[in-house]
């Protein structure tokens, strides 16, 4: 099966925003963290592979899978499970949480992961980031996760001392072609997406995917209108606050958003 790209690469067309369901893994289980805190875990009973298949049957164009154990420990901990998701999903998967060097990026790509998400590796060593960009190019996406203006790494546990824009300029200057932006204090809270951060990042000239905070179809419309390339959504889908088919329509602008409950 020939899989289509997870999101349009060029030309970037904000009106064709993609809705990407998120699957977060902790010790092989499906969970969500609230505000990136490992002591605020929302467990869900669905099996991750079964959920991935269900999302694809409902029309998902891609999946965003994060190895939370790997994000904290510095190397993949759920890579075998990610491989199972890739094989069963039939759509492109971008995965992160356990890639801090080229070998770890390659290990995910060998399993069929479409793009590998990095954060700690991107901000810790500019020379290493340049090497990664040279080798992997568009197969790499950098996640900028900000808590109260400070970009955090190592599973959202360590502050970098860098503001969002300083960090963003630094990675874009190395040739990174795509960013993910998460306002960590909104993540898992259903409090609305981080539009202000998105609007600051877009002038850098690279596509930006936004994660965290989406609760309603209107949130998706606002992200599309602001110019996001994709909306990454976890808890709202898992809690049933929004349905995936209606959210895909709202995100893509193909139909009016359903009335809010």
The 3-class secondary structure across the chain, one letter per residue, is CCCCCCCCCCCCCCCCCEEEEEEEEECCEEEEEECCEEEEEEECCCCHHHHHHHHHHCCCCCEEEEEHHHHHHCCCCCHHHHHHHHHHHCCCEEEECCCCCHHHHHHHHHCCCCEEEECHHHHHCHHHHHHHHHHHHHHEEEEEEEECCEEEECCCCEEEEEEHHHHHHHHHHCCCCCEEEEECCCCCCCCCCCHHHHHHHHHHCCCEEEECCCCCHHHHHHHHHHCCCEEEECHHHHCCCCCHHHHHHHHHCCCCCCCCC
Whether residue 36 lies inside any domain: the answer is yes
Q: Is 145 a catalytic residue?
A: yes
12 falls within a domain = no
Structural domain contains residue 11: no
Residue 229 maps to a domain: yes
Percent of the chain topping pLDDT 90: 67
Q: What is the average per-residue pLDDT within 180-206?
A: 90
5 located within any domain: no
Return the number of other C-beta atoms located less than 10 Å from residue 87's C-beta: 13
Whose CA is closest to 128, among 165, 98, 103?
Answer: 103
Supply the mean pLDDT for the chain: 88
Closest CA to 188 of 209, 211, 157: 211
Which range marks the domain in which residue 238 is found? 18-252
Any idea which residue has 């209107």 for tokens? 218
CATH code, domain carrying 170? 3.20.20.70
- What is the crossing angle of helices 217-226 and 244-252, to 10°? 30
CB of 98 closer than 8 Å to CB of 104: yes
For the question of residue 24 being annotated catalytic, the response is: yes
Q: Are 42 and 235 in contact (CB under 8 A)?
A: yes
Query: Is 261 inside a domain boundary?
Result: no
Q: pTM of the full predicted structure?
A: 0.89
Q: Residue 255 burial (CB < 10 Å; 0-12/13-18/19+)?
A: exposed
Range name among 125-134, 171-180, 184-193, 239-248 with the lowest pLDDT average: 184-193
Assigned domain for 9 exists: no
Q: What is the pLDDT of residues 39-90, one digit of tens each?
A: 788 888 889 999 999 999 999 999 999 999 998 899 999 999 999 999 999 9
What pLDDT score was predicted for residue 5? 53
Q: Is residue 1 part of a domain?
A: no
pLDDT attached to residue 132? 96
Number of domains in the chain: 1
Give the Cα separation of 225 and 230 in Å (integer): 11
pLDDT value at 172 more than 70: yes
- Residue from 67, 69, 145, 219 carrying the catalytic annotation: 145
pLDDT digits (tens, 9 = 90+) for 212-249: 999 999 999 999 999 999 999 999 999 999 999 999 99
């Amino acid at each position: 099966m020939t899989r289509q790209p997870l999101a349009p690469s060029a030309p970037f067309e904000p009106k064709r925003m993609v809705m990407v369901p998120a699957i977060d893994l902790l010790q092989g289980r499906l969970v969500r963290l609230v505000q990136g805190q490992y002591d605020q875990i929302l467990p869900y009973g669905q099996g991750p592979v079964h959920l991935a298949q269900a999302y694809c049957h409902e029309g998902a164009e891609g999946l965003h899978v994060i190895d939370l154990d790997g994000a904290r420990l510095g190397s993949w901990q759920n890579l075998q499970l990610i491989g199972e998701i890739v094989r069963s999903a039939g759509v492109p998967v971008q995965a992160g949480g356990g890639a801090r060097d080229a070998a770890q990026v390659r290990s995910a790509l060998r399993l069929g992961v479409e793009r590998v998400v990095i954060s700690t590796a991107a901000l810790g060593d500019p020379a290493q980031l340049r090497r990664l960009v040279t080798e992997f190019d568009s197969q790499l996406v950098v996640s900028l996760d900000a808590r109260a203006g400070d970009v955090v790494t190592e599973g959202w546990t360590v502050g970098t001392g860098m503001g969002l824009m300083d960090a963003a300029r630094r990675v874009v200057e190395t040739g990174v072609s795509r960013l993910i932006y998460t306002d960590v204090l909104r993540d898992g809270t259903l409090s609305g997406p981080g539009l202000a951060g998105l609007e600051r990042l877009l002038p850098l000239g690279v596509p930006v995917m936004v994660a965290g905070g989406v609760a309603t179809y209107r949130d998706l419309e606002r992200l599309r209108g602001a110019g996001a390339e994709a909306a990454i959504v976890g808890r709202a889908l898992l809690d049933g606050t929004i349905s995936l088919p209606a959210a895909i329509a709202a995100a893509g602008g193909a139909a009016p958003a359903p009335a809010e409950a």
